Amino acid sequence: MNKNLSKQFISTFDPLKISKSRTLLDKEKKDVVKKLTTGLTNRKVTDTINSAIELHCSGHIDFVLKKLFNYYYSEINMAQPQCIDYIYLFSKYY
């Protein structure tokens, strides 16, 4: 607990209580992953970011990384070969 932060701003929410098939906003995980995938393929930045944030906050960061890595490997790989180093370092850190 932070001694400088007032108790009214400290969350008592337990992320371990989230169902594995649901997200933080009580949506189906498969629907949010589908929205992330279609947002990536259709280049809808807002949908992609909102879906990624919702999955990340719900503890499903593995799905976000898997989708982003797959999209990079299938769509961007030839245009940005130096990005492989960043992906390697990030996955090593994660």
**The model scores a pTM over 0.85:** no
CB 51 within 8 A of CB 35: yes
DSSP 76: I
pLDDT at res. 2:
63
- Give the tens place of pLDDT for each residue, 50-76: 999 999 888 888 888 888 888 888 877
pLDDT at res. 31:
94
Nearest alpha-carbon partner for 54 in 15, 27, 34: 27
- Give the tens place of pLDDT for each residue, 10-56: 777 777 777 888 888 889 999 999 999 999 889 899 999 999 999 98
